[in-house]
Structure 1
Amino acid sequence: MAKNSVEASLPHTAVATWGGYIYQGKIALYHCLSLMLENLVDSKKLVLQLDSIDDFAILLDGACQSMHQVKAYKSDEFSAYSGAISEQVKKSKAYPGCKVLFHVSKDVVLPADFSSVYSPAIFYSYKKDALIESYCALSEIDSLLENLICEFYIKYESGAKHKTVPDYLQWSRNLLEDIIVSKIISMHAEIQLSKGPVQRQVASREKISFVDFFSIFYLSS
């Protein structure tokens, strides 16, 4: 039986869509952790907004600092992403000075004129040991998150060596991810219980303070 016939004979699945949203939340956490490592004091003033201005956005005193589009497509062809990037650039005009960041899970070769045609959008860079790459595979995101968490503990809690062991890093990552998952579930619950179309209002209003993420790191041992 041909491969396409086998695929068509099986029940419909939304696993790729479901996985895409989970990946999106993990990427949001990755960016938040990067900002926390970059500036401990200033990052405590930031908030994470989910699926409103963009797939996620970072706000400071209500002003959008960066907007983020996340794509976990199967394709590594730039043409699969160009339309979404164009839409993101168009949307960014309502937020002057805001960084416009595009995240992908595949290694996409950009056209030579990308910077001039799609400015101010840039592909996000991920630190992978000694390398910096402009994509994060789905199979990599958990380890990259745990690398950042480890960096945080080493930088700010150098005396707590036990917090840098694999089990503790995974536990920390799960707690941090749960902040995002819990917020999404609570937002969905409010939308479901409300009368009338309130989905956009809830998404715009509900945010996660970076202080919530910091609280995980400073849990007692």
Structure 2
Amino acid sequence: MAIQHLPHTAIPTWSGFIYQGRVALYHILKQLNTKTENEINELVLQIDSIEDFTILKSIATGGHTPISIHQVKAVKSSLYSTYKEDFEQLEGKWTTLGSQTVEAFFHMATQNEKTKAQIEVLHPNMKIYEYENNAESCSLNDIDIKIKEQIVLALQKYNIVGHNNPDNVQLLSEILEKTVSDKVIYIHALNHGGTAIRNAAYDNPIPLQNFVDAIKTDIASLVLDEVYFEGKIRNNLNRYYQEFCLDCEDNQLSPELKTKMDKYSILFNSYGATAFKEFLQNIRPHKKVSYENLEKYTDLSISEDEMKDSFYQTLLTIKESNGSDGIGWVCSESKQYFPTCINSPDDERNKKRMSERIMKTALSKMVDVPFNSDYLITSACNVDNIEAYANNVSHVNHVDTGEAENETKITQWKKVSLIDLETAKNKLND
């Protein structure tokens, strides 16, 4: 596509992408359910370019032209003043496009104090997006329900069996969402490699036909293997992150903090399969990471509370990492700290139990100490010496593996302490 007349690009934010991507998917499914396949073949989805997402149509002279631009706002506020500047920005982009046939839609996760009609009087060049039953907003939880409802309608439209099977619909929703998230990750990878985010986003749209093809996937042929469950875990981590950011108070998540958190999330999403599993094991030293099948995925899956109350809270509270690979900190005393999702109370019973779990995991998985840490940051638990508390774990005091490398790993773990977030914050934010 030629980009010489491209308006100012939407600023990409990873925390917004989760909700934004699902809203885009919902809108696409509505297009699939209301348009002919020939019409669908002419349309593409563009993410984080002209707007948060844009639907473009192919033109006879080549390339595409926008038919609708969409701005998505996932905040808790119902105040009109919170959105006023964004409304004006969307109207400004509509004006810049210079086409009366383009529609500009604004999507809200929270019902506004002003009605759709009142807002559109104040901002006549845009529309508040309307969902089923005249709803003028759609929450993060509700958008998942609406996506599945549209998938059922699409299966019925294309005469595909399985529309009345919730498991089929769930699998399809994951496949469709991955179509969007994979493209976002690819765009950010291009940006990381030196391509301007504006160009990377504009030049890499998704044909809507791809979503039709996904709808027609033979669910029975899908293999629920490690690749599948890895995708589910990535999806969950992104959802927990989105919800964590949305739950933050308005004065808690400044633009600077949001940018910092987005950088972390982009980093985690960029990890390949091996690095991603190592990342999970490092932030969960008290649990073995394994997701080869449904049983292991269910038993050992990432905990929502651990991620929100410990890991993401740590990343939010402490200044930007100065450790290796973009995660971890070094204090003024040259001690190294690493965030975890350990969310355990600070009592003797839990200290002992957590220390034993960490040592058992280290022994069985031969886990490297993340970032050569002196301290692993927890939500509240403090342990001066993991080995001392893990006195019921065999082979902690006498390593008899016969392998120097393994003995080194166990020896390293003996030197690690657990430290609560508040204490770590005071040491690292000085």
TM bin (shorter chain): 0.7 to 0.9
Give secondary structure in 2 for the equivalent of 1:94. Answer: helix
Partner of 2:170: 170
Alignment of 1:135-150 (within 5 A): 135-150=137-152
**Greater per-residue strand proportion:** 1
Q: 1:210 aligns with which of 187, 208, 211?
A: 208
What letter corresponds to residue 24 of structure 1 in structure 2?
Q
**CA apart distance, 1:19:** 4.4
Partner of 1:98: 102
Alignment of 1:59-138 (within 5 A): 59-61=56-58, 62-95=64-97, 96=99, 97-110=101-114, 113-127=118-132, 131-138=133-140
Whole-Å Cα distance in 1 between the matches of residues 21 and 120 of structure 2?
A: 27
Runs (4 or more) in structure 1 with deviation over 6 Å come to: none
Percent identity reads 30
Question: Any conservation in 2 of the 1:153–1:164 contact (CA below 8 Å)?
Answer: no
Deviations 1:167-221 (A, max 9, x none): 1101000000001111111111122123xx6221111111000011011111234
What letter corresponds to residue 191 of structure 2 in structure 1?
I
Higher relative contact order (CA 8 A, sep 6+): 1
Alignment of 1:54 onto 2:51: yes
Partner of 1:156: 158
Matched positions, count: 198
Partner of 2:181: 181
Alignment of 1:23 onto 2:27: no
Q: 2:33 aligns with which of 37, 53, 56?
A: 37
Deviations 1:52-109 (A, max 9, x none): 1000000002111000000011101111111100111011112212101000011113
Partner of 2:190: 190
Whole-Å Cα distance in 1 between the matches of residues 214 and 176 of structure 2?
A: 7
Give secondary structure in 1 for the equivalent of 2:212. Answer: helix
Q: CA, structure 1 residues 90+18, in 2 after alignment: closer, same or farther (shift >3 Å)? A: closer
Whole-Å Cα distance in 2 between the matches of residues 121 and 172 of structure 1?
A: 32
What letter corresponds to residue 175 of structure 2 in structure 1?
L
Partner of 2:198: 200
**CA apart distance, 1:43:** 1.8
Whole-Å Cα distance in 2 between the matches of residues 150 and 157 of structure 1?
A: 10
What letter corresponds to residue 121 of structure 2 in structure 1?
S
Question: Any conservation in 1 of the 2:120–2:128 contact (CA below 8 Å)?
Answer: no
Q: CA, structure 1 residues 18+90, in 2 after alignment: closer, same or farther (shift >3 Å)? A: closer
Question: Any conservation in 1 of the 2:53–2:69 contact (CA below 8 Å)?
Answer: yes
**CA apart distance, 1:113:** 4.5
Whole-Å Cα distance in 2 between the matches of residues 76 and 183 of structure 1?
A: 31
Whole-Å Cα distance in 2 between the matches of residues 69 and 46 of structure 1?
A: 18
Whole-Å Cα distance in 2 between the matches of residues 40 and 178 of structure 1?
A: 24
Whole-Å Cα distance in 1 between the matches of residues 26 and 172 of structure 2?
A: 13
Gaps of 5+ in 1: 1-16
CA RMSD of aligned residues (A): 1.6
What letter corresponds to residue 46 of structure 1 in structure 2?
L
Provide the TM-score with structure 1 as the length reference. 0.84
Whole-Å Cα distance in 2 between the matches of residues 122 and 171 of structure 1?
A: 33
Whole-Å Cα distance in 2 between the matches of residues 145 and 113 of structure 1?
A: 28
Gaps of 5+ in 2: 1-12, 59-63, 221-430
Larger Rg: 2
Provide the TM-score with structure 2 as the length reference. 0.44
Deviates more, 1:24-33 or 1:149-158: 149-158
**CA apart distance, 1:114:** 2.8
Question: Any conservation in 2 of the 1:48–1:210 contact (CA below 8 Å)?
Answer: yes
What letter corresponds to residue 28 of structure 2 in structure 1?
C
Q: CA, structure 1 residues 113+141, in 2 after alignment: closer, same or farther (shift >3 Å)? A: closer
